[in-house]
């Protein structure tokens, strides 16, 4: 546990400080935490342990000066960092919670609080110029905010604590991470730094060792389904589909593009049928399937395409094994797929799933396999497994 520090007393700012702060406010406006579903820590779903640890530290005035919030995408880390920044500066409910309704909380939410700096990647990277003013390479683009190292040096302007949140902290390039080390180790007493990342392993060990880490857990399926139904007003089938497609991550479940998923699923369904035919139909299908995959890189598209095939095979296995509809993901396809599953042997579907898994493993290996060939191989493996054992 890092040593606790008492917040510094707000003193009378100098003219230069005021001017710099006004500039910082103007430039920082906009970047903020994701909009929470409710006020304060109660808006963070399914993270009782992490939230409890934060609130306990706040209650005892023992919040570390550098925090690393990690956990998979869409589990509430950034929202939690935003609520923490609100709580530390909220005159109504702070510092143990945030009211979410006072002017201070509103300013934090809108990215306009002068004592809260939200740092996010620019074109995929957090660069040296966002961290340090002196060491920056002038060829880098102009940062959208005052560099962190100088920003934390000011005393709080209207709140109690200066809070820097570095969202997607793993996108800091190595020079940026190195420039942050000293500030991270010994920030000014009234400042706190909160790093947020789904990939803490991508941070330098020297960064990680200077932070108190707090893990946000993957969310359970029942909790996600309940939230999607009750808070988002979805019907049971959609809530089940979304939470099954984005296991553990409420954020991803909510933002999933179901239309795109539906298109990909249709293509994957045809590809599975063609795989059982083999020959030219299979090769054509591999190409169409790859094109339907989500992602910017060919490898990601291939992984997404193969994943769509795997999702169907998984449901077919459930239905072929007589496990009933309650654990089928694609509820809307149950009737057609039940009939299809009756023609298949569960052992052959397991073999087909193995073939898909082997292809996916190759895609994730450092071998840089050819995306198209890997999708073809996956379909050939699936076709061989299913064709050999077709019952009908
Ligand atoms: Zn408030």
3-state secondary structure 205-234: HHHHCCCEEEECCCCCHHHHHHHHHHCCCC
Looking at residue 136, what is its pLDDT? 52
CA of 98 to the centre of ligand 1 (A): 5
Which residue numbers in the chain have pLDDT < 50? 1-10, 26-29, 390-392
Residue 285 lies in a domain: yes
Question: Which of 363, 367, 365 is CA-nearest to residue 302?
Answer: 363
CA dist 383 and 379 (Å) reads 6
Residue 118 lies in a domain: yes
Do 380 and 363 belong to one domain?
yes
CA dist 123 and 120 (Å) reads 10
DSSP H or E segment with residue 67: strand 66-70
Its domain, for residue 244, covers 219-256
Looking at residue 331, what is its pLDDT? 83
Do 29 and 155 belong to one domain?
yes
Question: Which of 255, 251, 257 is CA-nearest to residue 218?
Answer: 251
Q: How many domains does the chain have?
A: 3
> Would you call the peptide bond into 95 cis, given omega within 30 degrees of 0 as the criterion?
yes
Tokens of residue 121, six digits? 């990647």
SS3 274: helix
Domain of residue 106, CATH code: 3.40.50.300
Do 236 and 263 belong to one domain?
no
Residue 276 lies in a domain: yes
Looking at residue 368, what is its pLDDT? 79
CA of 219 to the centre of ligand 1 (A): 27
Question: Contact at 8 Å (CB) between 194 and 169?
Answer: no
Do 198 and 239 belong to one domain?
no
The environment of the single-atom ion ligand 1, i.e. residues with CB closer than 5 A, is 90, 92, 99, 102, 105
Do 145 and 19 belong to one domain?
yes
CA of 313 to the centre of ligand 1 (A): 50
For 8, other C-beta atoms within 10 Å of its C-beta total: 15
CA dist 137 and 167 (Å) reads 22
E strands, 274-379, in order: none
CA of 254 to the centre of ligand 1 (A): 27
Among residues of the chain, what percentage have pLDDT more than 90?
Answer: 62
CA of 110 to the centre of ligand 1 (A): 13
- Is the pTM of the predicted complex or chain greater than 0.95? no
CA of 307 to the centre of ligand 1 (A): 44
Tokens of residue 90, six digits? 């909220």
CA of 220 to the centre of ligand 1 (A): 30
Do 188 and 329 belong to one domain?
no
Do 276 and 248 belong to one domain?
no
Looking at residue 17, what is its pLDDT? 63
Do 199 and 285 belong to one domain?
no
Do 182 and 279 belong to one domain?
no
CA of 195 to the centre of ligand 1 (A): 22
CA of 60 to the centre of ligand 1 (A): 20
CA of 102 to the centre of ligand 1 (A): 4
């Amino acid at each position: 546990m890092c040593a606790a520090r008492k917040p510094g007393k707000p003193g009378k700012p100098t003219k230069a400080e005021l001017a710099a702060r006004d500039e910082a406010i103007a430039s920082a406006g906009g970047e903020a935490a994701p909009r929470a579903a409710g006020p304060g820590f109660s808006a963070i779903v399914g993270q009782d342990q992490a939230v409890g640890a934060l609130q306990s530290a706040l209650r005892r005035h023992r919040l570390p000066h550098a925090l690393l919030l990690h956990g998979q995408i869409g589990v509430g880390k950034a929202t939690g960092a935003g609520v923490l920044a609100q709580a530390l500066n909220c005159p109504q409910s702070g510092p143990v919670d945030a009211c979410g309704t006072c002017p201070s909380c509103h300013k934090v939410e809108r990215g306009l609080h002068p004592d809260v700096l939200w740092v996010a990647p620019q074109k995929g990277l957090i660069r040296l110029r966002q961290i340090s003013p002196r060491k920056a390479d002038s060829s880098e683009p102009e940062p959208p905010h005052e560099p962190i190292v100088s920003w934390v040096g000011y005393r709080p302007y209207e709140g109690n604590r200066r809070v820097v949140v570095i969202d997607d902290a793993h996108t800091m390039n190595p020079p940026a991470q190195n420039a942050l080390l000293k500030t991270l180790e010994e920030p000014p007493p009234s400042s706190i730094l909160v790093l947020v990342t789904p990939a803490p392993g991508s941070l330098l060990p020297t960064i990680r060792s200077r932070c108190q880490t707090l893990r946000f857990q993957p969310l359970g399926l029942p909790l996600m389904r309940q939230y999607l139904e009750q808070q988002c007003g979805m019907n049971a089938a959609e809530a089940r589909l979304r939470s099954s497609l984005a296991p553990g991550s409420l954020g991803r479940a909510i933002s999933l593009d179901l239309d795109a998923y539906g298109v990909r699923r249709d293509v994957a369904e045809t590809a599975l049928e063609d795989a059982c035919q083999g020959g030219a139909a299979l090769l054509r299908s591999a190409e169409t399937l790859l094109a339907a995959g989500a992602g910017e890189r060919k490898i990601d598209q291939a992984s997404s395409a193969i994943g769509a095939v795997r999702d169907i095979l998984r449901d077919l296995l459930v239905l072929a094994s007589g496990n009933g509809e309650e654990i089928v993901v694609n509820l809307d396809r149950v009737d057609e797929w039940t009939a299809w599953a009756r023609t298949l042997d569960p052992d052959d579907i397991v073999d087909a799933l193995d073939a898909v898994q082997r292809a996916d493993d190759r895609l994730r290996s450092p071998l840089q396999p050819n995306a198209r060939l890997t999708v073809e191989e996956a379909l050939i493996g699936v076709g061989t497994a299913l064709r050999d054992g077709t019952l009908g």
